[in-house]
Structure formats: structure tokens, C-alpha cells
Amino acid sequence: MAATKSRGRSHVKCKVCRGPAAVEVRRHNAAFCPEHFISHFRSQVARAIHEFKMFEPADRLLVAVSGGKDSLALWDVLMDLGYDTAGFYLGLGIGGYSDRSRDACISFADGRGAKLIVRSLSEEHGYSVPTLARLSGRVPCSGCGLNKRYEFNRAALEEGYEVLVTGHNLDDEVATLFGNVLHWNTDMLGRQAPVLEERVIGSETALVRKVKPLVRVAERETAAYAVLRGIDYIVEECPLVEGNTQHRYKEAITLIEESSPGTKQQMYFGFLKRAAHRFAEESEAVELVACSSCGSPTIVAEDGNPRCSFCKMKARTERARAGRRREQEAGGSNRGAQGAERGGKE
């Protein structure tokens, strides 16, 4: 992140003012002093917003915040650019990590007099991400991602926000793209875009427009921005990250980027320019209908009873929970019966 230094003095100069540089952006072959890095970062975000026609000044934006550097840096830039924003924090129930993430969001919002909506999976649905993982036998990230997507959209719809904004940066998008290509997940490739348009079923909005204004900045740049702006974000990683494949893809591509700066940007923007539309046509052709239990868009079901992945996951969780309860009760009454038998023999 820091510019090259020798004997305590930086020899790298800011591209704008020629003063000592604090941050080098190798893929742009540029370095910046703190002040000019902050304006460079903001202009990259503003450029993504305009280039991809993400939203207009009149739109109400709901920013999904996790307490980490990306989402808080993004919220900071959007407020600075004068957009009408509120933050949304979803508690995932991952012990002290979730508590500290929530506190970071609250103190950020309080410090700026900004509105923050706080909800939690346990209050909304009676489970946490670790409970979901235990009951489903799947890696925590799968339940985590599904619940976040669902709850972010629901909050935006219920609270009246037109656009949902997330802090996915260039590294996140490249890692997702890499994973989708490795597995030729064409459906996901069709939906990997900086803007996902609103989806309407009948005359109702079922999915709000989703946008990613940080696609032009790398992860280390959001960290630099957050530090230079004095944002008190949570540095620790989610303790359940082990087994997260995207994390491994990120590390692999970062290795390539180190020897060939610009690889990430070429891969992602090359995909958007040359290939994304082919996959998008395929996924746009899929007919969507309303989930029979919650109304979210889902695919047509052969049995005539369409259920979205969230509702299916919730039903599976409830079945698993009921099964465990029955096992425990059976175990308890068996132990009771054995105890009575032993008691009788004595």
C-alpha cells in the first residue's frame, strides 16, 4: 500500500502535486499523496457510477454495510458525493465478530449523523449463520450469502429504497469471475455485472436494482482510503472464512497481479466488454415467477409450486431442526427407559 521508501524518505512522487507519495497504484502506473489519493479514489467511484449508469442524484440508496473497510469506505464516498443514503447492517450471529462489526457500523453512522437500519437473522428468522451451517451440513458461507442477498433486498423493498448498493471491489469481482469460469457457471456469469436491473413481477418490484460502485478500485485501495479517512473499520476476518473458495481464488489472482499489475482489471473489464452480454442474454431468457410463499422471483417449478432458494433453505432448516428435536426427545426417553430398567434390576 505504502509507496517505496528508502532511508525513511519516499522517492516516489505524487502524480498530481509531486509531493511525497503515500499510496502507489501500480496498475495505473501512478502514486499519490494522501490528499490526492483520496480524490483519485472518489473519482474512480464517481466514474463507475456514471459509466455504468448506476443511479441518479434523486435515487434513495441503501448501502449494505458489514463494518469492514469496503462498505464503510463506499458509504463515506457516497455521502461525500452528496447522495441520499442510509446504511443497512444485518447481524449474522457469528459471536463477538458480529457484535464488533455491528458496533463499527453504529459508530460510523453516529459519527456522521447518518441513518443506519439494523436487523439480525436471529430476530428475523430465529437462526444464525453457524446454526444454519450445523443444520444444513453445508459451509457457512453458502447460507450466509443466500441470507444476505435475500435480507438486503427485503430491507430495501420494505424501507422504500430504490437501489441496493454493495461494497464489492475489483478483487471480489475478479475472484467471483474466476470461480464462475473455472466451473463454467454460465448462469452466474450472466448475472455478474456492476448493475443488476430491478425485476418486476406483475406490477410490483420483486428485486430492487443492485449496484457495485467499487468495481474500479482494488481491495488494498479501499483499505488505504479507509485508513487515510480515519474510518474505524473492523480489520479481523470472519472466523468462518475457512473453506471459502472465493478467498482462495482471490489469493491466486493476487499472486498473478503482483508480477503482472493490471491483470485483474484486464480480466474483469475485458469480460464486461467482450463476453458478459452473451451470458446475460441466456439468463435474461429464463422466465421468472413469484415464489409461492414469499413472492420473490424464482424459476418456474415442474410441480406448479415455485419456491425460491431462500424459502427452500428455510424449510430444510426447519425440517432439520424438528428432526434433531425428535432425536433428542427419543434419546431422552430411551435414557429414561434404560434408567428405569437399571433401576428395576437393582
- Partner in contact with 238, chosen from Zn ion, ligand FES, none, beta carbon below 5 to 8 Å by kind: ligand FES
Nearer to Zn ion, 153 or 192 (CB): 153
Task: Tell me whether residue 216 or residue 307 sits nearer to Zn ion (CB atom).
Answer: 307
**Of residues 224, 239, 231, the one with CA closest to residue 104:** 231
CA torsion angle for 97, 103, 104, 109 (degrees, to 10)?
150
Residue 91 as a binder of ligand FES (CB under 6 A): the answer is no
Name 91's bridge partners. Answer: 120
Report CA-CA distances (Å) from 318 to 72, 244, 301: 34, 25, 21
Residue number with CB closer to ligand FES (241 or 337): 241
The region of 25-33, 153-161, 206-214, 239-247 touching ligand FES under the rule CB under 6 A is 239-247
| Sequence-separated (6 or more) residues with CB below 8 Å from residue 329 | none
Min CB(128)–ligand FES separation in Å:
10
User: What residue has cell string 425460491?
Assistant: 308
Provide the minimum distance between the beta carbon of 70 and ligand FES in the complex, in angstroms, as a whole number.
14
Of 152, 164, 214, 157, nearest in space to 59 by CA? 164
146 touches ligand FES (CB under 6 A): no
Is residue 67 at the binding interface for ligand FES, with CB under 6 A as the rule?
A: no
HSE (side-chain half, CA atoms, 13 Å) at 210? 19
Sites of contact with Zn ion (CB under 5 A)? 14, 16-17, 19, 33, 36, 291, 293-294, 296, 308, 311
Binding partner of residue 241 among ligand FES, Zn ion, none, CB cut-off 5 to 8 Å per kind: ligand FES
- Using CA atoms, how far apart are residues 17 and 343, in angstroms rounded to an integer? 88
AA letter at 268: Y
Q: Which stretch binds ligand FES (CB under 6 A): 2-10, 47-55, 139-147, 318-326?
A: 139-147
Q: Are strands 209-211 and 163-165 parallel, antiparallel or unpaired?
A: parallel
Which CB sits closer to ligand FES, 38 or 144?
144
Q: How far is the CB of 252 from ligand FES (least distance, A)?
A: 17
Q: Quick check: 194 binds ligand FES (CB under 6 A)? A: no
Q: Return the residue matching grid coordinates 481464488.
A: 249
d(CA 241, CA 141): 7
If binding means CB under 6 A, how many residues of this protein chain bind ligand FES? Answer: 8
Of ligand FES, Zn ion, none, which one sits near residue 140, judging by CB under 5 to 8 A according to partner kind? Answer: ligand FES
CB of 2 to Zn ion, least distance (A): 15
Query: From the list ligand FES, Zn ion, none, which binds 337 (C-beta under 5 to 8 Å, kind-based)?
Result: none
Q: Quick one: what does residue 129 bind among ligand FES, Zn ion, none, with the CB cut-off 5 to 8 Å set by partner type?
A: ligand FES
Region from 113-121, 137-145, 175-183, 269-277 binding ligand FES, contact rule CB under 6 A: 137-145
Residue from the set 192, 222, 244, 296 that interacts with ligand FES by CB under 6 A = 244
**Those residues with Cβ within 8 angstroms of residue 51's Cβ, 6 or more apart along the chain or in another chain:** none
Under the criterion CB under 6 A, does residue 129 sit at the interface with ligand FES?
A: yes
What is the contact surface with ligand FES in residues (CB under 6 A)?
129, 140-141, 144, 238, 240-241, 244
